[in-house]
Amino acid sequence: MSNIGRGIKRRRIKIKCMVCSRVFDNDYRIEHNNKYHPEYRKQNKLVPYETLGAPKNPFEAAKRKQERLETNIEVIRYYNDDKIMQ
């Protein structure tokens, strides 16, 4: 295992194991694999997980960011118009 990323504070997210349907924190994943799916480790197979509460794909996240940006632009326009009116 590599040590890259160690010491970096990561946001704790919930993940769901696709094999046994258990839900736990992402940092508990290794312990979970050792405890419930040692055969996956032995066979060098990856245990599939589903991330809970995260957007289904990166395009969805980009779209949301774009919507927020457009909202900010609307607010600025409103203030500009308001200043011209007075």
Residue 20 found at the interface with Zn ion (CB under 5 A): yes
Q: Is 17 in the site for Zn ion (CB under 5 A)?
A: yes
Contact 16, 22 (CB under 8 A): yes
Nearer to Zn ion, 38 or 55 (CB): 38
Cα–Cα distance, 44 to 10 (Å, whole number): 26
Q: Is residue 28 a contact residue for Zn ion (CB under 5 A)?
A: no
Closer Cβ to Zn ion, 39 or 82, answer by number: 39
Nearest CA to 36 among 51, 16, 52, 50?
A: 16
Binding residues for Zn ion, rule: CB under 5 A, are 17, 19-20, 36
